[in-house]
Amino acid sequence: MPLLGTTLFPQQDKELRFCKGLSAIRFHTAVSHMALAMPRPFATKSGSYYLNVRVPNELREVARGRAVTLPIAGESVTVTVSDKVYVSLRTKSAREAKERFQTALGRLAAYWDSLRIAPLALKPDEVKALAGESYRDAVTQLESDYDFNDRIEAFVQEYDEATQWHLDHGVDDPKLAERMASIEMQYPLALHAYALRHGDGVLSREEIVEAAFGEDARQLVAEKQMQVDETSIRRVAKELVNIAEAFGDLAMRRLASADHSDEIGKNLPAWKAPVTPVQASGPKGDRELESIADLYKRWCAYQTDKKAASTLRRYGPSLESLDRFWKGKDWRLVSGDDIFAWANHRRDVDGIAPRTINRNDLVAVSSIFAWATTRQGGRKRDENPARGIKLDVDRKTTTREKHFEDHEVSAILIAARNARPSRRYPRASASRRWAPWICAYTGARIQEVCWLSRHDIRQEAGIWVIHFPTTKTNVARKVPLHPALVDEGLLSFWERAPAGFLFVGDVPQKEGATRSQQEQRASELAEWVQEQVTLEDGVSPNHGWRHTFVTRAEEANISKRFSNAITGHNHGKDVSDGYFRGRMSALKVRMDRYPRYVISKS
């Protein structure tokens, strides 16, 4: 994220606090939906691929000249609409071009849909809540990206030094020195922030607000797939000015102290899309309409203490997508044909792979509709309309094994060994240092490692063990510590570690969060590994250790039962497999036999 910094010095307090807030908030534009039959990537003579799609005829007048932002190669790319949308997919690979095209096309299609809706006028609370979405996104990144503060401090130092240089070289007015520093930063938002605080001398405040936040306000609206009037856009932009300053205050306070309170975020109204009346009647005998979204909420309330929070969260996008496709009508009117049509929409418009639709979307929908046929679900339908529905899937070609190659093992473990410690976020930095090594020598799942506390590494009957208390199978297990982990210094780290979780807990769990800190850390570690090491497609940066451990255990003549006992697998067809656990002394003999990884020098 590009940033403008925060205030660590008195003379630029208001300006830089605001400046930081203005630049740190990221906005993502959701744009999707295409009305052309079977569009595909366009290849130039040079071999580069482009998205080249005509605007639907009925939208040309309203769409021409608007800026639309599309997700391409992991980045947000903004392009101005003419009679078509033409933008590079940034690849010469046909396979990559197809994937990027479908993602961008799906986002573009929803943008067309938003233009078909009559503009709404947002209420004051809706304006504040919509702008508040950007505040919450920025706070989330502040909490999850522990390089973020380093980048803020670097910017502040650069800004401070540039301002001081002008003061030392003939500029007497501090305000002028700050303006010159903003110009030298070569970052437009720095000048916008300065102008909003001190005035521009040429543009009116309304024009400055439009320049600084007008496009961001439009992107926020587009992300919600809404069409609002220009008055509402201007009001959202003005509210973003306040949001930026509030976020600057928060970030500055967190930099300068251990105060992590957030009164602004606590008091922001929750975003709820404006309700458009739906003229639909429920099934015969039912007066009250219940949408698919309502059914999903009812299912979540029932399953809260029965299913993992990650499962409840994972089903959400699928049910929300079906609810949008069904246009909020009563779920009891959905037929199997309707669900099949939605599944095809997910494939053809949203660009989701059929295999993913079958395994994720249709499983989620079928599970919830099946529950609705039970007494617990109210028996509001006699049959599950999603039962038996699947899309055809092309035969999958596996391009390589899922375990790590030797050079990948070496690169990941060296990166972990060289991970920088952080005083501000010691547990997060420790996870980078030790989680890959623990996975490498236990075959544990990454979330199992993230659940480890200090008391989970201990000595029992003379054997150092790691106790995994929280596992995918809900069966805790203990494994002996491999000698390589001792030599690497894990016990030295353990001796210095404070009580509590080893790898999470630097900041309190966010109230109302649907993902545990362990889940968040596991995702962050996957991203970090991929930033450090280039892995081939199909190789998981975290789960690859399980494949690697099992593969090498087999090569070392460690029996499958002992290997399963160490990794927590229990897939044996023999009923007695469920009875076998392995005594610790016997597990240690096998663990000592597990070969050390060869770490190449770099």
* pLDDT tens profile 348-388: 888 888 988 999 999 999 999 999 988 888 888 878 889 88
In CATH, what number is assigned to the domain containing residue 322?
Answer: 1.10.150
Specify whether 418 is located in the same domain as 454: yes
Query: Whole-angstrom Cα distance, residue 118 to residue 226?
Result: 9
Specify whether 127 is located in the same domain as 111: no
Specify whether 249 is located in the same domain as 297: no
Tell whether 37 is covered by a domain.
no
Tell whether 391 is covered by a domain.
no
pLDDT tens-digit readout, 334-350: 888 889 999 999 888 88
Query: Whole-angstrom Cα distance, residue 376 to residue 279?
Result: 29
Specify whether 190 is located in the same domain as 336: no
Chain centroid, CA 190 distance in Å: 28
Range of the domain at 546: 406-593
DSSP structure string for 224-271? TT--B-HHHHHHHHHHHHHHHHHHHHHHHHHHHSS----HHHHHSPPP
Alpha-carbon torsion (493, 494, 499, 504), positive or negative: positive
Tell whether 542 is covered by a domain.
yes
Specify whether 490 is located in the same domain as 353: no
Specify whether 525 is located in the same domain as 448: yes
To which residue do tokens 């790319």 refer?
Answer: 77
Chain centroid, CA 100 distance in Å: 18
Tell whether 300 is covered by a domain.
yes
Residue 137, SS3 per DSSP? helix
Tell whether 384 is covered by a domain.
no
Q: Which of 41-55, 105-119, 127-141 has the highest mean pLDDT?
A: 41-55
Specify whether 153 is located in the same domain as 229: yes
Beta carbons of 493 and 376 less than 8 angstroms apart? no
Could you give the number of structural domains in the chain? 4
Tell whether 518 is covered by a domain.
yes
pLDDT category of residue 27 using cuts at 50, 70 and 90: very low
Specify whether 542 is located in the same domain as 521: yes
Beta carbons of 51 and 278 less than 8 angstroms apart? no
- In our burial notation (b when 16+ CB lie closer than 10 A, e otherwise), range 141-150 reads ebbbbbebbe
- The answer to whether residue 11 scores a pLDDT higher than 60 is no
Strands 84-88 and 75-80: what pairing?
A: unpaired
- The verdict on pTM exceeding 0.75 is no
Chain centroid, CA 94 distance in Å: 26
Domain boundary among 115, 140, 163: 115
Beta carbons of 436 and 521 less than 8 angstroms apart? no
Specify whether 307 is located in the same domain as 327: yes
To which residue do tokens 């007497």 refer?
Answer: 172
pLDDT tens-digit readout, 205-255: 787 787 777 778 887 887 676 777 888 888 988 888 888 888 777 877 777
Domain boundary among 66, 95, 115: 115
Specify whether 431 is located in the same domain as 501: yes
